[in-house]
Amino acid sequence: MANHNRDDLVVLRPEGLYCPRGDFHIDPWRPVPRAVVTHGHSDHARSGMGQYHCASGSLPILRWRLGEQTYHAHAYGEPFTLGQARVSLHPAGHVLGSAQVRIEVDGEIWVASGDYKRQLDPTCAPFEVVRCDTFITEATFGLPVYRWPPTPSVAADIADWRRECGERGEAAVLFCYALGKAQRVLAELMAWDAQPVLLHGAIAAGVEVYRQAGIVLPETRPVTEQARGTDYAGQLVLAPPSAAGSAWMRRFRHAQQGFASGWMRLRGNRRRRNYDRGFVVSDHADWPDLLRTIEQTGARRVIATHGNTDALIRHLCEHGVAAEAFRTDFGDEQ
């Protein structure tokens, strides 16, 4: 199905997405000499690369997750040269410092989106539409059923849920990804709830990185600093999904468990994982925003990565856009 030709600015290699004219990879999953990394999630930022090119805003996150490496940080929109390619990074609106990669060679322009969303997020720069000939888009939620409610209303629901839990003598333990989602939920909660939020250690580390980068977040306290026998009724606690069902949970005795994720749009996902509540908040584009973004880029050709590429490709082909998929190792942050 793929009709690649040798002029393609990005091709799929066993190591990951590769730009032959610039001799660099984008978010490679195997060690390579030169990587352009779109953001800090573990399926995009891996150790073992000779050089890391990233957006300046992503640098503290990469340092937190990968330690000291050879980093080349670039301001958004500032072009740099790799091989014969003129490269620049542009906000993707996904997490702090996340970037799309714009590649230009001989007037031809390709953009690799990395992960992105269009909803406003107080913890990162908003997505920038970059016009291009070929757009490599993520398609994590590439099905028409995925449509996101406004995040402020979801934050209000979370605040209400915490109060309801308090009335029943329960803690409200909310599971969310430690990089991006937790900080976004915290920032959105500030408008609805003045009570400090308790954090699992894995979440606290990332929250500190965001604070150091100047992102305003509400008051938080580490769960580990709470005295033995603390009554957690009415407390909101953020924890990574890996803490669900672990011994760490026992301290709460009476607790409701919620999950903040785009996957919660499907009720079956919540029931299967035994969450009491699902809150639909995602750092990826929903179906209408995928289609809107693809149209706005003006791309004549689209290459989809991540999850549900089939429905998106079919839809685009039916609407006269040449669309295909790259089979990648990108996942869902976990």
Q: Among residues 162 and 284, whose Cβ is nearest to Zn ion?
A: 284
Q: Among residues 256 and 262, whose Cβ is nearest to Zn ion?
A: 262
Q: Among residues 175 and 232, whose Cβ is nearest to Zn ion?
A: 175
Q: Among residues 26 and 223, whose Cβ is nearest to Zn ion?
A: 26
Binders of Zn ion in range 205-264 (CB under 5 A): none
Using an 8 Å Cβ cutoff, are 175 and 255 in contact? no
Distance separating alpha carbons of residues 77 and 80, to the nearest angstrom: 9
Choices 59-67, 69-77, 249-257, 326-334 (CB under 5 A): range interacting with Zn ion: 326-334
In the complex, the smallest distance separating the C-beta of residue 41 from Zn ion, rounded to whole angstroms, is 4
Binders of Zn ion in range 56-115 (CB under 5 A): 115
Q: Among residues 37 and 238, whose Cβ is nearest to Zn ion?
A: 37
Q: Among residues 61 and 171, whose Cβ is nearest to Zn ion?
A: 61
Q: Which burial class, exposed, middle or buried, applies to 145 when counting CB atoms under 10 A from its CB (0-12, 13-18, 19+)? A: exposed
Binders of Zn ion in range 105-134 (CB under 5 A): 115
In the complex, the smallest distance separating the C-beta of residue 112 from Zn ion, rounded to whole angstroms, is 12
Q: Among residues 41 and 65, whose Cβ is nearest to Zn ion?
A: 41
CB atoms within 10 A of CB 253: 12
Choices 7-15, 36-44, 229-237, 265-273 (CB under 5 A): range interacting with Zn ion: 36-44
In the complex, the smallest distance separating the C-beta of residue 6 from Zn ion, rounded to whole angstroms, is 28
Q: What Rg value do the Cα atoms of the chain yield, rounded?
A: 21
Instruction: Give residue for tokens 């998929």.
Output: 325
Distance separating alpha carbons of residues 211 and 56, to the nearest angstrom: 16
Using an 8 Å Cβ cutoff, are 115 and 262 in contact? no
Q: Among residues 277 and 284, whose Cβ is nearest to Zn ion?
A: 284
Q: Which two tokens stand for residue 177?
A: 């990804």
Q: Among residues 45 and 255, whose Cβ is nearest to Zn ion?
A: 45
In the complex, the smallest distance separating the C-beta of residue 42 from Zn ion, rounded to whole angstroms, is 9
Binders of Zn ion in range 149-208 (CB under 5 A): none
In the complex, the smallest distance separating the C-beta of residue 30 from Zn ion, rounded to whole angstroms, is 16
Choices 33-41, 77-85, 235-243, 320-328 (CB under 5 A): range interacting with Zn ion: 33-41
Strand order in the sheet with 277-279: 220-222, 197-199, 236-239, 171-175, 255-260, 277-279
Kindly tell me which residue out of 21, 25, 41, 90 binds Zn ion, with binding defined by CB under 5 A: 41
Q: Which of 251, 189, 258 is nearest to 226 (CA)?
A: 251
Kindly tell me which residue out of 18, 116, 127, 330 binds Zn ion, with binding defined by CB under 5 A: 330
**How many residues of this chain bind Zn ion (CB under 5 A)?**
3
Beta bridge partners of 123: none
In the complex, the smallest distance separating the C-beta of residue 309 from Zn ion, rounded to whole angstroms, is 13
In the complex, the smallest distance separating the C-beta of residue 127 from Zn ion, rounded to whole angstroms, is 13
Choices 9-17, 37-45, 201-209, 224-232 (CB under 5 A): range interacting with Zn ion: 37-45
Binding residues for Zn ion (CB under 5 A) = 41, 115, 330
